């Protein structure tokens, strides 16, 4: 799968931040809380934030995240239900991959030129209309590698981002999935 995002990579990431359950199963027990994002960004290439998560952020926290991740790391924000002010969009600068709309529409509160990803008919993918790039979202619930392989092979050809969540997901799986994507020639 050819990639035209800024990094030249097929980027994997999680939905939501913070995840308190990751503190016991993912982060080292002695890792300071303000180092957690840097640790995550070593394993991931993107982060999808639900509206409730990103609307509660402070400018200093976002600035710290930007300092802690590579220049190719991308943030995606879910549009708030019913639209509304989105003043923190500028905080992410060129690392903002765009806003995921929950339904096909144009929100007048979103700045001109901001990538607004439209939902695909299947509800599990979003498409950036200008480039045709695809962001897929998977909820994981106990799938084995064979099942994940089949799901990866079924991704739309223009998939550039794969965001994961669900009751059984931790970023520990990102390395495994990156290796699988490499073996399948997707990354």
Q: Per the domain annotation, does 2 fall within a domain?
A: no
pLDDT score of 85: 53
Q: Per the domain annotation, does 1 fall within a domain?
A: no
Q: Which of 138, 115, 136, 164 is nearest to 1 (CA)?
A: 136
Q: Per the domain annotation, does 79 fall within a domain?
A: yes
> Beta 116-119 vs 46-49: how paired, if at all?
unpaired
Q: Per the domain annotation, does 66 fall within a domain?
A: yes
Q: Per the domain annotation, does 3 fall within a domain?
A: no
pTM above 0.85, yes or no: yes
pLDDT tens per residue, the chain (187 residues)? Answer: 233 344 456 899 999 997 888 988 899 999 999 999 999 999 999 999 998 888 888 999 999 999 999 999 999 999 877 665 567 788 999 999 998 887 655 555 677 778 889 999 877 899 998 899 999 999 998 889 899 999 999 999 899 999 999 988 889 999 999 999 999 988 7
pLDDT score of 20: 85
pLDDT score of 84: 58
Find out whether the peptide bond into 129 is cis, omega within 30 degrees of 0: no
**Residue range(s) defining the domain that contains residue 108:** 11-183
Total of domains in the chain: 1
- The CATH code of the domain that includes 143 is 3.20.20
111/108 Cα distance (integer angstroms): 8
* Segment holding 46, helix H or strand E: strand 46-49
Tokens of 30: 């002695």
Q: Per the domain annotation, does 131 fall within a domain?
A: yes
Cβ neighbours of 109 (radius 10 Å): 12
pLDDT score of 179: 93
pLDDT score of 1: 29
Q: Per the domain annotation, does 6 fall within a domain?
A: no
Q: Per the domain annotation, does 4 fall within a domain?
A: no
How far is residue 51 from each of residues 48, 55, 149, measured CA to CA in Å?
A: 10, 6, 30
């Amino acid at each position: 799968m050819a990639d035209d995002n800024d990094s030249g990579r097929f980027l994997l990431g999680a939905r939501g931040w913070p995840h308190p359950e990751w503190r016991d199963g993912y982060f080292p027990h002695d890792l300071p809380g303000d180092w957690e994002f840097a640790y995550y960004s070593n394993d991931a290439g993107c982060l999808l934030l639900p509206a409730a998560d990103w609307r509660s952020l402070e400018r200093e926290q976002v600035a710290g995240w930007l300092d802690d991740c590579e220049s190719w790391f991308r943030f995606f924000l879910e549009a708030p239900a019913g639209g509304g002010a989105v003043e923190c969009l500028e905080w992410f600068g060129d690392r903002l991959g765009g806003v995921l709309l929950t339904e096909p529409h144009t929100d007048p509160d979103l700045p001109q030129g901001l990538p607004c990803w439209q939902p695909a008919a299947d509800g599990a993918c979003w498409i950036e209309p200008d480039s045709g790039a695809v962001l897929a979202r998977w909820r994981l619930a106990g799938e084995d590698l064979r099942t994940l392989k089949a799901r990866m092979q079924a991704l739309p050809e223009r998939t550039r981002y794969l965001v994961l969540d669900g009751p059984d997901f931790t970023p520990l799986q990102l390395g495994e999935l990156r290796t699988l994507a490499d073996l399948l020639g997707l990354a």
